[in-house]
Amino acid sequence: MHHLFRAALVPAVALAVVAGCGAEGTTGAAEPAAIASERVAATPTPETTKPQATQPQTAKPKPTTTRKIVVEFRTIPFKKETVTDDSLPEGEKSVTTTGANGTRRLTYQLTFVNGVRTSKTLLRQEVAKQPRTQITTIGTKVEESEESCDPNYSGGCVPIASDVDCSGGSGNGPAYVRGPVTVVGTDIYDLDRDSDGQGCED
């Protein structure tokens, strides 16, 4: 009976050993799968972690400012003036002084930004040439004509008026004549007081 117990015990131990080996084999076969899973989730390669390069921004060029001095000339028109002259016949005109334009010089400063003019500043101005005034003379002298002298007298011009007296006499005019004059017609102004044919003898 003792021998029968031992015989039954041996197969049980063998089964246990086989079962243990099977468990170990199962564990060993699972390890490579776990390791492979960890490698897939490994840290990315340096190429993927390199920061992306950015394009450098081009700096805008600074504006270029230049300045230039220029000189301009402007015309100053001459003036006109009229004067009278009693030695010239009435109404006669003549230019006694010819007019001439003058010149004004102006100095400017021009400012350019990138070649485009942005301002024009007047720095100074001066008269480079003075203008000359043009003078026109008009005569005012009244010329005595034969029509303005009374045809009743000769030797001097007796004016035609409402009354004529001898210069230096006691008459009150309004017109006067310096004698002597000869009466050739009617002595309408009573210049020949002594009736000798001559008037205003004194």
In terms of Cα–Cα distance, which of 151, 164, 156, 170 is closest to 191?
164
Residue ranges of alpha helices (H) inside the chain are 2-40, 46-49
- Local confidence band at 147 (pLDDT 50, 70, 90 cut-offs): low
- pLDDT tens digits for 46-86? 555 555 666 667 778 889 999 999 999 999 999 999 999 98
Q: Where are the domains of the chain?
A: 65-141, 144-202
Neighbours of 110 (CB within 10 A): 14
65-141 carries CATH number 2.20.230.10: yes
Q: Which of 18-32, 35-49, 139-153, 176-190 has the highest mean pLDDT?
A: 176-190
Query: Omega before 151 cis (within 30°)?
Result: no
Reported pTM: 0.41
